[in-house]
Amino acid sequence: MKHQLNAVLFDLDGTLLDTAPDMARAANRVLADHQIPPLTPAQIQANTSYGANGLLAAGFGTIPDHLDPQALRLQFLEYYLNNICLETATYHGIDSLLRYLKENSIPWGIMTNKPGFLTQQLLPFFPELNEAEVIVCGDTLAKAKPHPDPLWHACELLKVAPQHCLYVGDIEKDMIAARSAGMPGAVAGWGYIGMEHTPHLWQADIILAEPAALIQLLEQQNRNGRPFFNQSCYS
């Protein structure tokens, strides 16, 4: 499949930002309150992109009947909000990628399932991310990913047709959303995934090993007029 790329949308957690240390800390505090052992590194790696629910489900296994899952989530959110950026950082190469997009007048934005109040609290720590032309969060609309509405909304704000906007994310749900929206999808291979998650089965247009691989793709478009998505950049 070939698409002329005129814009790029990014997921946030596991794509632009490594939020795992701070999210795991909040989850572990909730677990400790209920005498549950902390998450293992493997559990953190596999579940951070699924937010509070994913991390807590991994820690508890099965949440006991006497505990309210929604109350646990609110407890997590309170801990996380109070220490939202102690160790969170952009992934290596993201700054260069965003600088490339800016220098080449390629509009970009953020489409995340992270709630708006958390996103708004976190982004000021990263001035480069505040340059996003659109920011659509998990509660911006009535429906969140994998429903295509948020991606369509972001494309409308960017004034670009979905088929000409690449969506970059690190979980299968991101690729499902991209396909549903009629957008090309790229897996952020540097995020919270490994080959054990079988990203090659997610029907993505491309798997990027590092942010620089997207720069190479766009450079190829500049040279040839159209980028090619029939070869994986995963290594």
In whole angstroms, how large is the CA radius of gyration of the chain? Answer: 18
**What pairing do the DSSP bridges indicate for beta strands 134-136 and 89-90?**
unpaired
CA 92 to chain centre: 15
For residues 155 and 180, is the Cβ–Cβ distance under 8 A?
no
Longest Cα–Cα distance of the chain, Å, equals 61
d(CA 210, CA 91): 9
Active site residue 11: yes
Please provide the DSSP assignment of 19-86 as one string: -HHHHHHHHHHHHHHTT-PPPPHHHHHHHGGGHHHHHHHHHHSS--TTS-HHHHHHHHHHHHHHTTTS
- Out of 11, 13, 18, 205, the active site residue is 11
Return the structure tokens found at 164.
Answer: 């000409």
* Cα-based angle 34, 36, 42 (whole degrees, multiple of 5): 140
Q: Considering only CA atoms, which of 101, 98, 124, 122 is closest in space to residue 112?
A: 122
Element (H, E) at 135: strand 134-136
For residues 151 and 142, is the Cβ–Cβ distance under 8 A?
no
**Residues designated catalytic:** 11
